Chain A
Amino acid sequence: MITTGPLGTLTQEASISTETTVSEVAVQLEGITKRFPGVVANRDISLTVQKGHIHAIVGENGAGKSTLMKILYGMQRPDEGEIRVNGSPVTFHTPGDAISAGIGMVHQHFMLADNLTVLENVILGSEPRKGGLALDFAAARKKIKDLSEAYGLGIDPDVLVEDIGVGTRQRVEILKVLYRGARILILDEPTAVLVPHEVDELFENLHGLVREGITIIFISHHLDEVLKVADAITVIRRGTTVAEVSPEGVTARQLAELMVGSELPSPETRESTVTDVVALQVTGLTIGGEGERKVLDDVTLTIHKGEVLGIAGVEGNGQAELVEAVMGIRPSTGTITLAGEEITSWTTLRRREAGIGYIPEDRHRHGLLLEAPLWENRILGHMKEKVNVRGWWINRKGARADTERIVRDYDVRTPGIDVDAAALSGGNQQKLIVGREMSGEPKLLIAAHPTRGVDVGAQAAIWDHLRTARAAGLAVLLISADLDELIGLSDWLKVIHRGAIVAEFDPATVTPEQLGSAMTGAGEEA
């Protein structure tokens, strides 16, 4: 159904231009097409990765990055096209084939056993033998130490994985792949789980790897990181490669525009809509008793109608606990007042009924029933709203009609409201949640990382909805790790560090640098 006519010639031109340097090419994909019944996931992909380069692949969620990587890693076979590794054509049937061709993959979610040592994790599945049966730990330890030294990974093979940090775990994953002889590494969203300084460490490691002749294919949608680390960038949109750019000649904004194929909207809110009516008053909120470490330490904050209060902080400094305490999910001491009414002792459901909308940080675990249809997900958390229930009974008709409204107004891309939430892409799942939580005229919206892991298009739509609701008088407690989002959307910023509010800023005048140093606890009070 897709003809390779005009695009095919383009590919040929591309391959001719790289032919002169063919000895330097580590991976070359030509005309890769992968169809699933009725849909083309990859269409005529062409990609040339130079040996010893960090080659970034960027694209929106659902653009076809993961299918492409699955093809390259032997998890799926292309319907058309050719893969060449180091100049010779290859066909992969399993990831095992890819590994023997020297291609290794580091997944976004770590696949390590916590209760084993680094050494045991690395050799798991390809254990060196000694005399038939016994494991040759000594040889493995030596090999791991050599690799760690050669590539500057700084890994001690004998510590337990549960005792090491996220950044080190990632290096263990990389080491695992190198141990199996990979010379070409695929890193799938490697920075998603890292804090800023760990990202910098990772990038240093990556540079160390390429210096030793390793080739890295780096998948990400953090454009700034891509620009910082990549030697070449390929942009994928709607299943096909649309541009190959060099990081020197392009800005993050231009890259984002290539990804979405349109102008990138800005997160900045224009005039202030803050009123002097208090919507949420939190006083002395504390989690953790005497003698324990306080996860939340005497947090006091006020949000007015029409105000967005942003909470900045390195993840794990009490943001999640603050949200859960305000939602009544986690027990805490202190007082919480919503629109003048004290709700401290209320249950979560009563708080929601009183007008608190909640966009949870982890939509899969807290925000959705993945295996339930969209209209049932509309009811989740709103089990007392008129559209959803009639007394004891579920109002199926009402809930379905209102789900249709959300799908329409919030542009949730779905063939219908009877599909399971799991079948939707992340951005569309999030738009459904945003639409649901904005329903029933909430007084306060708690938005934890509202645009995390969603594509640029959905991000812009969600920002628009937040701004519109704010103008209509909604108070928003915004938690985000995206400083641009925080600065752009918030009317006022507070910085949380080790459970306590340590600084506040006016987003109009703050710089990302100021914010960043306050977040690490080093910054002086503003």
Chain B
Amino acid sequence: MTSSFTDRLLGRVKLSGWVSLAAPVLAIVFAGVVTSIVLALTGNPVFDTLTTMVDYGSQPRSLVLILNNATTYYLSALAVALGFRMNLFNIGVDGQYRLAALVAAAVGGAVTLPAPFHPILIILVSMLVGAAWAGIAGVLKATRGVSEVISTIMLNTIATGLGAYLLAQWAVPVAGSNNIGTPPIAESARIDGFAFVPGSSLKVFGLIFLAVAVGIGFHLLLNKTRFGFDLRATGRSEQAAVASGVNVKRMVVYAMLISGGMAGLIGMPQLLGASYSYSLDFQPGLGFTGIAIALLGRNNPVGIAFGALLWAFLDVSANILGLHKISPEIVTIMQGVIVLSVVIAYELAHRYRGVAEQKRVSRELAGAASTPQKEGASA
């Protein structure tokens, strides 16, 4: 009667206190156990493999890679989470960020502006393209009732095709390879990384601060503003939102625009901090990783940060497995099991919390009822 399973899955129902921490930790431990069993079944040394991964993953160079990967994962998961909080499944983050990064890279490579304006222009273009692409799905849903799941998936495919066409139009050969990419972006738009981890020359993306700022903005927007209240109210109960005067159709369009705009940021750390051009090998699939991480972090900006770091750690530490003749896909198994067991753990935690809260209320009321003054005070 109260909340549906999807509500709990998507984190629109809050879990409080220690259960919100215990649930994912237990799930990760469980995933570790499952992975160990898989390792043992495939005839690999369980303990050695796991310690090798931790050793490798905690080296300075790996730590930088983890932070950089986590930055893009974080932005991606936040873009997905914004839709989730309103019951919108923006599956199209993947197409949105790829198209946005391509157009932004092309614009950035074509113009030259003074330092602070150049990267800002590129980022704005990227957000606008991402928002516009997601906005198509939003408008279709608001005006024609088209499921955003269907339309965003189709828009992903269209984005792939459109991206290939545009890249062919705009691209120049990348020096020293058979790769093609947009013309390189001038120095003025490049955002230098900084050496954050001692012992590694590798630099952390400068735009990691953008990711942190987006996380804080996400929290403020959702929890402190009227817009966020309307958005969460729509996610929790669309009917109640309509009855209280929320214009749900307009909210659908706005939420898709914002989600798409955030998706536009996903490619920026890579584009402005490392590759300076959008080429054929620009990393795909980040939008789907974002869905998994948003689920892991229950659409909460702090939870998503932990999820993104964990995911990045697993990705990076998987690189060592090949050297030990262990299939790196073991990590994919682990990531899959983590998502599944986290979902189950949240469900169990929710049930526990629901019962606990009702007990607490009836207990406190029973306590209050026994003091006669409280009773007499009633109208």
Contact = CB atoms under 8 A, between A and B. Distances in A.
Interface of A: 36-41, 327, 329, 347-352, 358, 360, 364-372, 376, 379-384, 389, 392-394, 396, 409-411, 413-416, 419-420, 422-424, 457, 461, 464-465
B360 A370 contact: no
Contact of A371 (B12, B359, B379): B12
B245 A383 contact: yes
A461 B378 contact: yes
Contacts of B2: 370-371, 422
The 5 closest A-B pairs by CB, nearest first: A349-B245, A381-B244, A38-B363, A415-B364, A348-B245
B357 A420 contact: yes
A330 to B, nearest CB: 10
A369 B236 contact: yes
Interface stretch (B123-131, B178-186, B227-235, B289-297): B227-235
Contacts of B224: 393-394, 396
A424 B365 CA distance: 10
B157 interface: no
B361 A414 contact: yes
Contacts of A349: 244-247
Nearest to B3: A371
Name which of A376, A382, A383, A461 has the most chain B CB atoms within 10 A of its CB.
Answer: A383
A383 B244 contact: yes
A220 B227 CA distance: 43
Contacts of B368: 413, 415
B362 A389 contact: no
Contacts of B367: 38
B359 A36 contact: yes
Name which of A39, A358, A360, A366 has the most chain B CB atoms within 10 A of its CB.
Answer: A39
A347 B233 contact: no
B325 interface: no
Contacts of B362: 36, 38-39, 41
B358 A369 contact: no
Contacts of B232: 372
B241 to A, nearest CB: 8
Contacts of B377: 411
A352 B227 contact: no
Interface size range on B against A: 35 or more
A350 B244 CA distance: 10
A376 B14 CA distance: 13
Nearest to A352: B245
B225 A392 contact: yes
B239 A365 contact: yes
Contacts of B226: 383-384, 389, 392-394
A381 B245 contact: yes
A365 B237 contact: yes
A415 B360 contact: yes
A379 B225 CA distance: 12
A419 B361 contact: yes
Contact of A415 (B237, B239, B246, B365): B365
9 contacts: A349-B246, A352-B244, A366-B240, A367-B240, A369-B233, A369-B240, A392-B227, A415-B361, A419-B357
Contacts of B246: 349, 383
Given A39-B359, A415-B360, A371 B247 contact: no
A295 to B, nearest CB: 18
Given A38-B360, A38-B362, A376-B229, 14 more contacts: A348-B243, A348-B244, A349-B244, A349-B245, A366-B243, A371-B7, A371-B13, A381-B244, A384-B226, A389-B226, A411-B377, A411-B378, A415-B364, A415-B365
Interface string B1-44: 11100010000111000000000000000000000000000000
A348 B232 CA distance: 18
A364 B1 contact: yes
B242 interface: yes
A38 B361 contact: no
B225 A369 contact: no
Interface in B241-255: 242-247
A368 B240 CA distance: 6
A413 B227 CA distance: 30
Nearest to B8: A371
A329 B225 contact: no
B378 A423 contact: no
Given A38-B366, A371-B236, A393 B225 contact: yes
B245 A351 contact: yes
Contacts of A329: 242-243
Given A392-B227, A394-B225, A422-B2, A37 B243 contact: no
Contacts of B366: 38-40
B161 to A, nearest CB: 39
A96 to B, nearest CB: 22
Contacts of A369: 233, 236-237, 240
A413 B362 CA distance: 10
B247 A347 contact: yes
A400 B244 CA distance: 19
B361 A423 contact: yes
A370 B361 contact: no
Contacts of A379: 229
A450 B228 CA distance: 30
A360 B14 contact: no
A348 B242 contact: yes
B245 A39 contact: no
Given A380-B233, A422-B2, A423-B357, A371 B14 contact: yes
Contacts of A457: 378
Interface in B281-321: none
Contact of B237 (A370, A389, A394, A420): A370
A350 B172 CA distance: 55
